[in-house]
């Protein structure tokens, strides 16, 4: 393609290597690029931020014996008898589970608020899956017991639906914490091929693990987030602060915390913080 005339006319290259090469050929050989700034590193302690929760996270996401099963995304690990499994589908399910675990850990590293939001979202998806698949009296009883044991948590979810999930306005909040659309999106697992009862058992275990995380982080205050404090400190000294994050919740929390912190800065620094670029790459 490099020798194709049409390709050369249509495709524009803007890489540094291309600019250097073209400049040397057409001009005086001098190539001027802005000198990149050295990245500023601000140390912070994840352990000081999360405390005892960190150990629970490590245990739950242990690579060899994870407490997080995520069986609803990997029914191929619950076959009934000797059934023929599609290797492509089995590998896909494994990758989905691995991706979810990795995403959870990235959200955990991003901020406390991002991790909590992921917990809320996954909890609701797990509940939706059990609601659809719990058919036997024993399975319905399991679900009912879990709901009664976590009635306070379910009440909190219902009261804060819009804040947690962005589910419409105050007037049209769902009576149930699981919207009808979410139930309709659940793909049914064939009971003749897979042990749905075992998947439900492991899913309830996952729900309990999420509840542990949420309760441990329930009273967490932004002032306890060492990473957030370190970023705010860095923003106070950077003339043109720009922060990029893959988690929108982290972006929102940083913006509000930076605005609050700006009140304690000089007038010029406050202006910089109020106008700083915080982009969420989602």
Helical (H) or strand (E) element with 258: helix 248-262
User: Token digits for 189?
Assistant: 């697992």
Q: Are 163 and 177 a contacting pair, CB within 8 Å?
A: no
Q: What is the CA radius of gyration of the chain?
A: 25
DSSP conformation letters of 214-282: HHHTTT--GGG-HHHHHHHHHHTT-SS-EEEES-HHHHHHHHHHHHHHHTTS-HHHHHHHHT-EEEE--
pLDDT digits (tens, 9 = 90+) for 183-224: 999 999 999 999 999 999 999 999 999 998 888 888 777 677
Question: Is this structure's pTM higher than 0.85?
Answer: no
User: Token digits for 97?
Assistant: 């589970």
Beta-carbon contacts of 9 under 8 Å, excluding residues fewer than 6 positions away, are: none
> For residue 65, which phi and psi values (nearest 5 degrees)?
-135, 75
Looking at residue 242, what is its pLDDT? 61
With tokens 């994840």, the residue in question is 46
pLDDT digits (tens, 9 = 90+) for 99-129: 888 888 888 877 788 888 888 889 999 999 9
Beta-carbon contacts of 250 under 8 Å, excluding residues fewer than 6 positions away, are: 110, 111, 113, 114, 280
pLDDT digits (tens, 9 = 90+) for 225-234: 777 777 777 7
Q: Are 266 and 128 a contacting pair, CB within 8 Å?
A: no
Share of the chain above pLDDT 70, in %: 67
């Amino acid at each position: 393609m490099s020798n194709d005339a049409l390709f050369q006319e249509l495709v524009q290259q803007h890489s540094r290597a291309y600019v250097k090469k073209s400049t040397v050929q057409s001009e005086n050989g001098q190539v001027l690029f802005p000198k990149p700034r050295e990245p500023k590193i601000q140390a912070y302690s994840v352990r000081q931020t999360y405390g005892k929760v960190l150990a629970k996270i490590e245990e739950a996401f242990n690579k060899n014996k994870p407490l997080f099963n995520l069986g609803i995304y990997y029914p191929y690990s619950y076959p009934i008898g000797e059934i023929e499994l599609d290797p492509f589908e089995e590998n896909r399910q494994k990758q989905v589970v691995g991706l979810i675990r990795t995403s959870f850990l990235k959200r955990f590293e991003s901020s406390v608020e991002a991790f909590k939001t992921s917990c809320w979202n996954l909890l609701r998806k797990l509940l939706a899956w059990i609601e659809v698949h719990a058919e036997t009296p024993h399975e319905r009883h399991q679900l009912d017991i879990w709901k009664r044991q976590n009635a306070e948590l379910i009440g909190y979810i219902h009261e804060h639906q819009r804040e947690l999930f962005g589910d419409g306005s105050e007037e049209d909040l769902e009576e149930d914490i699981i919207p009808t659309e979410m139930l309709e999106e659940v793909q049914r697992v064939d009971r003749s091929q897979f042990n749905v009862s075992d998947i439900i058992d492991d899913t309830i275990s996952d729900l309990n693990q999420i509840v542990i995380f949420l309760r441990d982080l329930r009273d967490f205050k932004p002032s306890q987030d060492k990473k957030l404090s370190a970023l705010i400190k860095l923003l106070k000294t950077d003339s043109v602060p720009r922060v990029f994050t893959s988690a929108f919740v982290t972006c929102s929390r940083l913006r509000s915390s930076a605005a609050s912190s700006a009140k304690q800065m000089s007038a010029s620094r406050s202006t910089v913080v109020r106008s700083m670029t915080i982009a969420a790459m989602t």
